Structure 1
Amino acid sequence: MEKKVALFAHDILQRKIPPIGSAVLSSCYVRQCKKRGFVFGNNAGIAKLFDSIQSAYGDEYLAQIDPAYNNGKHEQWIRLKSDKGQLNMPLARHLIIALHLFSSADDFEGALKNESILLSASSSPRPSKNEDAHSGKMIKYRQKIEMLLALRSEADVEYLWKKAYKPTHWLMENDNAWLIAKLRMPKKVAVKVEKTIDSRDAGYAALIEAGVDELYSVAKDPKRVNIRNLQTLLPNSLPHGLELRKQRFPLTYHQIKRHQESVWYFRLRTLVWSISEIIRMKLPVNYSTVRLTSAVASKVFLVFSSFFEWDLESLARTGVDAEALLKSTGVSRDWEGPPIAISF
């Protein structure tokens, strides 16, 4: 038993346990007494604890380490109530009580920490109604000022007086240091984050290269080959932001820019399809039928027919291959139109 107490004492003294107040230590002892069954009504059973310690350690050992016990002063040998901020017991007695109640230094240290937290929480003074109101105003008015400063980074105190007189007035009187610090706070500078190239970029670029000719086919209800329609060749759309799109999908972006269709080429492609359909239906190819059947302005038909020198009567007799007729014009997909001014 003597060795057990010595090891416990050594373990406790080696630990960096912060100073413990008598109230914490007393409460810790009392709580553990109740857990161990040393109770008397609703209180700690001091007599039961003393009897248990006597039984465990024996009179001879207790008399050896504690002069008061040796002199027969057993009645108040255990004192769990704080007197003038102290638990008036020698260190050896504390060690015996702690070892008997907690069995190990780990459990004793843990109990002290928990008790400190519990007492600290329970003894914290509750704020008065006035303090609650003051704190509530501070939070509310700070939020108002922070919102205004976020909306207008260059705002000064004059702006705050104008837009939020009451919060500004209250903070000037009650929280002036915070308000001044907020006004002097350096403005946030946007940090550009370098975007890495998306791993799908090369694959997406290849998909556009492979599928773009199909979009340019002369077919019913032709659609202009623009950024949106080129992206129908992809499994997913590209990011909406232009800079982000260029940074993350540079190859794909290049293909899209390269294959976009000009307005004039789209008009030509649409008109060629209309002419082929008119001839297929054995209708006369002229100003009137084009105006009725095509989305292209009829005046464009007249200019194109002249510019490309189409022999419409011959086309009507022999029939027309729309793809061949379009190719025969010799213009590129980014064609900027005929050198003739056309007013719409």
Structure 2
Amino acid sequence: MFATASARKDDFLPYFPAGFPDETIGSRVSRYHILRGQPTMHATYKQLFDRVPFSLGGMVQRHLENLASRLPGSSAQNLIALQNDSTLQPLYLRFCGDGPHPGNAERDRTGGQVVLPRRMSGDSRLTHMCPQCLAEDENEHGWAYLHRSHQIPGVTTCWKHETKLLDRCPSCNCPFAHPSQLILSAWLGCACGVSIAVHEHSSPELSSIREKEFARFTRQLLIAGPVQLTTSQLITMYKQRAAECGYAWGGGRVNRKALFEKIEEFFGPVLLAKMDPAYGKGKTSGWFHVLSPSACTETPLNRHLIVSYFLFRDAEVFLTHAVAAAARLPTDDAAAGAGVTLETVDGSTEENRRSAELLDELLRIAQRSDYDTEQLWRYQFSSMTRLVKLLPDACHVLDMQIRRAAAKKKRDAAGALKILERLTQHDAKWAAAISSIAHNVYSEDSRPVKVTMKRLIKAAGVPGVSWPTQSKYPLANLAVNAKAESTWHFYARRLLWTLQSLHPDTPVHLVIIHASLEVYKARAVLALFPDVARGAGPSIKVIMAILSSRSISTNWEGPCPEQEFYKAGRAYRLRTSRRGPIGGRAGAPHLSPERS
């Protein structure tokens, strides 16, 4: 490559390593850092990007234009090469870009830069490695390096060796990627002294068939030729393929509930939670934004890939459909998405508007009152007369829409029943998990911490099942309410632990201070245990035995339920008139009887 006339020779880097097949830009920068003698991180970023350190572990790294301008040759061509060969931009733009526009086709072909959003949805910032690939690359190329295909969102296994990818040290559990730091553990090992490449000699964790096929599918899409689609073309391709697979409702719509249930069944909740962290947290409301024109480009890339793999299964099939969709004219997309109402309405724009309004009004009346066309003629005669003048086949359209609405109502009822069955199963799982984990939580041989509902729920986490509202999980909420301890029971456990920990002659006020409890309630509880042996060493087993022998359960209401104690914190009220009126807040004006 030749330098441009405007570039100065002093601006060019003396050396920058060429990329290996499927190598990330972060890997190339890390190798540059090592080959240059490992200067400071700031010095390396200053030389390459003229910026302070930033993350190089995302899907499409920013500030690459600074590096491209410091390489010999055309800056634009260098930037195109960096983005296409060392980042996930080709895969990202296949789903999340808006495609080339006819007026900007020449500019897109030669300009290289693509306007990217400020925040890329689904960019986990994790760095994945395959120890076997590291060892093979070092033998074959002389250098280990990081692969782009391992960093694709949703990919959990190596497509080549069919083993699980690592995103943290197998010894100390330290993540490979750190904010604004280079990833050097592939070459220098982890800070704990473990070499990542050596881990390939241990027995690797094998992956499932779904994980292997998904990894191969995404890699083939990454290395395939560029076929960039507009949003409407991509959505049309999804809908057509969903219709071919039996998930169509008619009118260009997709049965999203049935499609999501099949995807969930196909991958399984555990694997789907790994591929889509939002699903693991129960956030599924925006799952099918891939079919929404306004939100398709903002949908995380991993969800695009999951839906595409489920619908097409083979990358060649996907690319064939993509080429056909890219060749289709925009007017074809609009015609494919048009509904029955627009196709049947003829005449001028004003007539179309009036007939559409009448049709919508009559459909609302029919759905609200459960009418058919015969009843509409009986109770809405004038409106029906005006409509058939504008739209001769209005009765046929109304019949079809009413049947479609009835079918939708039936499907919604069936779907609600399935959701109820699923919630019932999840409710039983949570209730059983909470009941089984409660004993372990109370048996933790450490300084007692109050066993709250939140703590029990966190300890009894069920994989792939989130914790919803109380009304959806009645059995689980009954279980967690029954197993959570009262404040008085917690006071008893904490005070007994403190008594066993301190010297037998420790005064009462020091016992309460070390227990970090409210004074008056703690004194009332301590009065129940004058005969408990002190200073023998804390043991939660002994504490629970003492409580059991005195019939003190987890829902204990205290030694004197009828007694009222002064409240602490924001509920505190004054007990003397030294700083204000008794029962009021501190500093409040004390009014005399005459003024009050």
Of Structure 1 and Structure 2, the greater helix share is in 1
TM tier relative to shorter chain: 0.3 to 0.5
Higher Cα radius of gyration: 1
TM-score (norm 2): 0.24
Relative contact order (alpha carbons < 8 A, sep ≥ 6): 1 or 2 greater? 1
